[in-house]
Amino acid sequence: MFKPCVLAALFSAASLANAANPIVKNIFTADPAALVDKGRVYLYVGKDEAPAGGKDYVMNEWRVYSSCDMKNWTDHGSPLKYSTFKWAGRDAWASDITKRNGKYYFYSTVDHATIPGKAIGVAVSDSPTGPFVDAIGKALVSNDMTRQSAILWDDIDPAVFIDDDGQAYLYWGNTVMKWAKLKPNMVELDGPIHTVGLDQFTEAAYLHKHKGTYYLTYSRQFPEETVYMTGPSATGPWTWGGQIMEPNANVKTIHQAIVDFNGKSYIFYHNGKLPGGGEFRRSAAVEELRYGPDGKILKVAQTAEGPAANPSPGCK
Ligand code: FUB
């Protein structure tokens, strides 16, 4: 006969196996990026490979999952690694993806092999599940191009946004948020790198648009909370919106991505809730994101259940 504590442990393991969150239960996954394409949502994550008790990130590859209902996920494996960028030395850190003219552009953080510091690469594919190849054979942004802060990791966490007029923007940064226009080819900056002073900005700048308003979300303070600002354009000016998600209990980072899927909005983030999880062993999760009648984003609680199933018609 099982003792109550054994039963409780079994019950919680079974609940986790059936729960929607974390999305991936057999490996640790971090820094979610998302793309909705042809009625299917694709989730891109970095694989956290740090051993139990590890003291730093070990991240060598990105992995892709997809879903037709935000509940059941298909594993598409790893379509690219940091080593896809021959000029990179290590670190498959946070990424973002968009589609333009039938091609999929994947912007990602890696550590540059010869220019000290983090850098942003861009890879391209004909499919959302890859394989991806380096689009330009060099960094799109490297640490020597930005002098706003002295740290080596200020050029991380790219987020890409294409406005309704076709202009594409790249946002990124740690400590200081930066943005630049992208040329229509999506693989060259178009003009200068700008900086924006944001209250206690840490990282994970992300741009989305809802009912004509531009929302800039980011990770604030450390441990990070997810907050947002609103503006009348993709470049601001920005007005404080509020907190979306409270900091994690056992992980200082939280890294969000926001997409619309089948008539609803969703926020992806990561936490340390998978058994054995922690600072360098994180797990991607998803919740529904709701707006108030005034356009304010309502606070989001992390749940084990995740969002209700939302079957996308025609998604196969
Ligand atoms: O995963 C490595 C770094 O941690 C990411 O680039 C940040 O957003 C934070 O999540």
Q: Whose CA is nearest to atom 6 of ligand 1?
A: 94
The count of structural domains within the chain is: 1
pLDDT of residue 54: 97
Asked if residue 307 belongs to a domain, the reply is no
Asked if residue 303 belongs to a domain, the reply is no
pLDDT of residue 18: 59
Q: Whose CA is nearest to atom 7 of ligand 1?
A: 94
Q: Which residue has the tokens 């057999």?
A: 26
- Indicate if the pLDDT at residue 232 is higher than 50: yes
What distance in angstroms lies between residue 247's CA and the mean position of ligand 1's atoms?
Answer: 14
Where does the pLDDT of residue 111 fall: very low under 50, low under 70, confident under 90, or very high at 90 and above? very high
CA distance 18 to 305: 9
CATH code where residue 247 lies: 2.115.10.20
Taking the mean position of all CA atoms in its chain, how far away is CA 185? Answer: 22
Asked if residue 311 belongs to a domain, the reply is no
pLDDT of residue 14: 40
CA distance 178 to 170: 8
- Indicate if the pLDDT at residue 226 is higher than 90: yes
pLDDT of residue 149: 86
- Indicate if the pLDDT at residue 188 is higher than 90: yes
Q: What is the mean pLDDT of residues 43-52?
A: 98
Q: Whose CA is nearest to atom 5 of ligand 1?
A: 94
Asked if residue 27 belongs to a domain, the reply is yes
Q: What is the mean pLDDT of residues 242-262?
A: 98
pTM of the model: 0.94
**157 CB less than 6 Å from ligand 1?**
yes
The closest alpha carbon to 297, from 224, 237, 243, 231, belongs to: 243
CA distance 31 to 64: 12
CA-based radius of gyration for the chain = 19
For the segment 59-109, what is each residue's pLDDT rounded down to a tens digit?
Answer: 999 999 999 999 999 999 999 999 999 999 999 999 999 999 999 999 999
For the segment 151-182, what is each residue's pLDDT rounded down to a tens digit?
Answer: 999 999 999 999 999 999 999 999 999 999 99
Give me the domain span that covers residue 67.
Answer: 4-289
Token output for 254: 């939280």
Asked if residue 309 belongs to a domain, the reply is no
Asked if residue 167 belongs to a domain, the reply is yes
